[in-house]
């Protein structure tokens, strides 16, 4: 499928999405958000794709934020609708995708960019990356999940400080605080993410999808995470992946999982 703002590529069981707006530091405008939704939806439905990496073009920015020019004149109602639509179309959509998503943070991840990275299941950043939620400097707050996901990842106090100061942190602090999983050199970022994805793709895609569902369930106010886990665990027993995984273990061979 052809897109104006993103590039998609497939390598065996891995897909890579690159946000390609380098002149805008890969800022998220409405069209880009729609295209990302479409790409994730298509790749999630592709039985061959068992992991997705998302990154930004160039070395300056993963995503340097939302495209402010698009909403600078919005009313209260339009601003509310903007946030709700963003959650539904992209950020919540990515978080609940059954295919695991790795954010390869290759530079600035600010505002909506950091919120997109936080919606992904795993985050890896280059040692030169910078992260922050500067929305209060514009007279608004993070509206794509930043006030919810950041405290869950790094704790309430640190999240409050990042949000209220609007300041950026480097990769070392992000790693120490648990905002990212790994820090690597810029030239090693994609190779490292690919190796990580390869480890994931060797396992049952059905089980991974159910694990994502169960983990996410524990962070939702209206969901019993333990009940979600029990039901997901039971579901796995009726799948071809479970039959293959247990048979391979008993036969002392590597499992060959059939796919999603």
Is 217 a member of any domain? yes
Is 1 a member of any domain? no
Give the C-alpha distances (Å, rounded to integers) separating 232 from 47, 122, 193, 228: 20, 21, 27, 6
Is 258 a member of any domain? no
- Above 90 in pLDDT, residue 69? no
Give pLDDT, residue 255: 95
Judgement on whether residues 225 and 139 belong to the same structural domain of the protein: no
CA distance 216 to 228: 9
Give pLDDT, residue 66: 87
Judgement on whether residues 121 and 235 belong to the same structural domain of the protein: no
Judgement on whether residues 21 and 70 belong to the same structural domain of the protein: yes
Give the C-alpha distances (Å, rounded to integers) separating 224 from 137, 215, 228: 37, 11, 6
Judgement on whether residues 160 and 143 belong to the same structural domain of the protein: yes
Is 58 a member of any domain? yes
- Above 90 in pLDDT, residue 259? no
Judgement on whether residues 113 and 99 belong to the same structural domain of the protein: yes
Answer yes or no: 213 catalytic.
no
What CATH number is associated with residue 116? 3.90.226.10
Judgement on whether residues 42 and 145 belong to the same structural domain of the protein: yes
In the set 35, 95, 115, 213, the catalytic residue is 115
Judgement on whether residues 209 and 194 belong to the same structural domain of the protein: no
Q: Tell me the pLDDT tens digit for each residue of 112-137.
A: 999 999 999 999 999 999 999 999 99
Yes or no: say if 116 and 233 are a contact pair by the CB < 8 Å rule. no
Judgement on whether residues 30 and 152 belong to the same structural domain of the protein: yes
Domain of residue 29 covers 6-201
Yes or no: say if 221 and 163 are a contact pair by the CB < 8 Å rule. no
Residue 2's pLDDT band (cuts 50, 70, 90)? confident
CA angle 131, 111, 2 (to 5 degrees): 105
Judgement on whether residues 113 and 130 belong to the same structural domain of the protein: yes
Average pLDDT of the residues in 181-202: 97
- Above 90 in pLDDT, residue 68? no
In the set 41, 135, 240, 244, the catalytic residue is 135
Number of domains in the chain: 2
Yes or no: say if 28 and 112 are a contact pair by the CB < 8 Å rule. yes
Residue 221's pLDDT band (cuts 50, 70, 90)? confident
Judgement on whether residues 162 and 244 belong to the same structural domain of the protein: no
CA distance 54 to 61: 12
Judgement on whether residues 115 and 238 belong to the same structural domain of the protein: no
Judgement on whether residues 52 and 167 belong to the same structural domain of the protein: yes
pTM above 0.85, yes or no: yes
Is 260 a member of any domain? no
Q: State the average pLDDT for the chain.
A: 96
Is 132 a member of any domain? yes
Is 224 a member of any domain? yes
Is 240 a member of any domain? yes
Answer yes or no: 115 catalytic.
yes
């Amino acid at each position: 499928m052809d897109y104006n703002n993103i590039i998609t590529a497939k390598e065996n069981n891995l897909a890579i999405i690159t946000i390609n707006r380098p002149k805008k530091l890969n800022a998220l405008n409405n069209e880009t958000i729609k295209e990302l939704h479409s790409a994730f939806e298509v790749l999630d439905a592709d039985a061959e794709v068992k992991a997705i990496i998302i990154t930004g073009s160039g070395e300056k920015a993963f995503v340097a934020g939302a495209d402010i020019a698009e909403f600078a004149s919005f009313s209260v109602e339009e601003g509310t609708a903007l946030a709700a639509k963003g959650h539904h179309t992209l950020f919540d959509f990515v978080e609940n995708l059954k295919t695991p998503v790795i954010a390869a943070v290759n530079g600035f991840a600010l505002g909506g960019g950091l919120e997109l990275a936080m919606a992904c299941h795993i985050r890896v950043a280059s040692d030169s990356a910078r992260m922050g939620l500067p929305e209060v400097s514009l007279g608004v707050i993070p509206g794509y999940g930043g006030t919810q996901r950041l405290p869950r990842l790094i704790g309430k106090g640190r999240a409050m400080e990042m949000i209220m100061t609007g300041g950026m942190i480097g990769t070392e602090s992000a790693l120490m605080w648990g905002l990212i999983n790994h820090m690597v050199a810029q030239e090693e970022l994609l190779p490292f993410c690919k190796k990580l994805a390869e480890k994931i793709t060797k396992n049952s895609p059905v089980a991974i999808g159910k694990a994502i569902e169960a983990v996410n369930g524990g962070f939702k106010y209206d969901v019993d995470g333990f009940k979600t886990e029990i039901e997901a665990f039971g579901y796995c027993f009726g799948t071809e992946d479970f039959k293959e995984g247990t048979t391979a273990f008993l036969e002392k061979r590597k499992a060959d999982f059939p796919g999603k």
